[in-house]
A = this chain, B = another copy of it.
Amino acid sequence: MPSLFVAQMKLHDLVQKLGGEAVGEVALPLAGVATIEAAQPDQITFLANPKYRGKLAQSRAGAVIVAPGDRDATTAPRIVTVNPYAYFARVAQLFNPAPVYPPGVHASSVIHRDAEVAPSASIAEFVSIGARAVIGAAVRIGPGCHVGDGAVIGTGTRLEARVTVYHDCRIGANCIVHSGAVIGADGFGFAQDEGAWVKIPQTGGVTIGDDVEIGANTTIDRGALDDTVIGNGVKLDNQIQIGHNVVVGDHTVIAGCVGVAGSARIGKHCQIGGAARILGHLEIADGCQISVMTLISKSISVPGTYTSVMPFMVHAEWLRNAAHIRHLARMADQLDHIGKQKK
């Protein structure tokens, strides 16, 4: 990664680039972002939740991003905007721009003569790219990646080190794929025959939209016949498993270690907590929130938050109580019986 220069900006530079209203101005330019507690005079922070107003008074931050309702919560130089946290994220991007890699193919890499690699793409060490693959403009392929035959990597997308994209899979523009991710391995499809399992060829692909981020060691299987589809703006954390023919709707976020079984359809703008599991062949409506470690075992048509968490206890307490789950039906029967006797 080339070394990054440190940007220096005043509030008027920020509002010029990102909008919002500057109230006051810093004396010296800002050099970065930080939390309310850690910010120094050359850093800008943000106040997204009015309950932290008290901390603002003690902050050493040179400036702060606030919502209209907190416009007068401080006398420090500030930017007023409707969504301080999102604004903060964009300011952080300005101070920490994505790395820019030199165009060209490293001498150690092996590019099939029938692959198309844009001149502005940057191909690192030990990359292998198959026949008919298409690598778009300003793409970065990190060290040790493999891009299979006929795969397509869209403009501005970055594969970090050691990513695998199997043949004929398509990744959109401006995506980030972290190390160890595997896109397009075979879906898990077998037919049973006299006790043994016969492989069903997985002949679909994977289609990934634009502005998608895929975490380290996440796996997205290719479809059995049709494609597995990841929508635009989807954010997948690390170690997620997406089965064949799953569809994930636009702008859905999925936390680490989630498993989605084959042919599940997850709506748009969903939020799925870590280590949740979605069974196959079901549908989850747009805008659902699935809690951490929750198993969704049937379709959900009404947006909302859904949970199947077992509460944790001191182990001795758990020993006393959990065993009774095995007798809940009998307990319910006893209660019914008592209720009827009273009538």
Total contacting residues, chain A, CB less than 8 A: 126
- Contact present for A259 and B261 (CB under 8 Å): no
Q: Is A201 an interface residue (CB 8 A)?
A: yes
Closest chain B residue to A334 by CB distance? Answer: B335
Residue A253 CB within 8 A of the other chain: yes
Q: Is there an interface contact between B335 and A325, defined as CB atoms closer than 8 Å? A: no
0/1 per residue, A307-340, Cβ < 8 Å to B? 1111111110110111111111101101100110
The smallest C-beta distance from A263 to any residue of chain B, in angstroms, reads 11
Contact for A335 among B274, B320, B335, CB less than 8 A: B335
Cβ of A292 < 8 Å from any Cβ of B? yes
Residues of B within 8 A of A297 (CB): 292, 309, 311-312
Which of A8-16, A55-63, A67-75, A160-168 lies at the binding interface? A160-168
Cβ contact within 8 Å between B241 and A241 = no
Q: Cβ of B178 and Cβ of A217 under 8 Å apart?
A: no
Residue contact A269 to B195, C-beta cutoff 8 Å: yes
- A238 adjacent to B306 (CB under 8 Å): no
A308 and B289 alpha carbons, distance in the complex (Å): 22
Whether A225 is near chain B, meaning CB under 8 Å from some CB there, is: yes
Q: Does A305 contact B (CB under 8 A)?
A: yes
State the CA gap A86–B322 with chains docked (Å). Answer: 35
> Distance in Å from the Cβ of A97 to the closest Cβ of chain B?
8
Q: Within 8 Å CB of A117, what residues of B? A: none
Query: In the complex, what residues of B have CB within 8 A of residue A309's CB?
Result: 295, 297, 308, 310, 318, 322
**Residue in B closest to A306 when the chains form the complex, CB atoms:** B312
Nearest-Cβ distance from residue A209 to partner chain B, whole angstroms:
12
A187→B4 CA distance, assembly (Å): 20
Sample of 11 further A-B pairs with CB below 8 A, known A310-B322, A325-B325: A89-B191, A96-B201, A215-B219, A295-B312, A304-B314, A305-B315, A307-B318, A317-B326, A322-B328, A331-B332, A335-B335
Cβ of A156 within 8 Å of any chain B Cβ, yes or no, is: no
Q: Determine the distance from Cα of A130 to Cα of B237 in the docked complex, in whole angstroms.
A: 25
A311–B226 CA distance with the chains assembled, in angstroms: 31
8 pairs, A vs B, C-beta closer than 8 Å: A3-B131, A160-B164, A197-B233, A217-B217, A291-B318, A311-B325, A331-B331, A334-B335
- Cβ contact within 8 Å between A1 and B167: yes
A17 at the interface (CB under 8 A from B): no
Q: What does the 1/0 interface line of A145-158 toward B look like (CB < 8 Å)? A: 01011000000000
